[in-house]
Amino acid sequence: MEVETLQEFSEALQAAPDIIMLDEFSLSDMRAAVELNSASDHSVKIEASGRVTLETVRAIAETGVDYISIGSITKHVRAVDLSMRLEFVAR
């Protein structure tokens, strides 16, 4: 389940999904969501997503979320030609 605010997170917790994805949450809101989750009778896995970069991933991990999605790893990929051309010579 994807949420964009702490209010939506609280509502999602009541539905007890397997995982809740925090979309573009600030670090302080991520920490608050982790605390709400810990205090809940139905704690779930939490994934952080949106505006995640290799530079911010450590700070996000330190909030206590379970998973982190870094879309930039796959969104801005450039193709590389790794083909191998073999020439067979008859003997």
Which CATH number does the domain housing residue 60 bear? 3.20.20.70
- The answer, yes or no, to whether residue 80 has pLDDT greater than 90, is no
Residue 51 lies in a domain: yes
Confidence of residue 86 (pLDDT cuts 50, 70, 90): confident
Residue 90 lies in a domain: no
Residue 82 lies in a domain: no
Q: Are strands 45-49 and 67-68 parallel, antiparallel or unpaired?
A: parallel
Residue 86 lies in a domain: no
**Into how many domains does the chain fold?**
1
Determine the pLDDT at residue 19.
98
Q: What is the pTM of this model?
A: 0.78
> Per residue in 28-57, is it b (16+ CB within 10 Å) or e — as a string?
eebebbbeebeeeeeebebbbbeebeeeee
Residue 80 lies in a domain: no
Residue 45 lies in a domain: yes
Residue 38 lies in a domain: yes
Residue 87 lies in a domain: no
Domain extent at residue 19: 2-75
- How confident is the model over 11-66, as pLDDT tens digits? 999 999 999 999 999 999 999 999 999 999 889 999 999 989 889 999 999 999 99
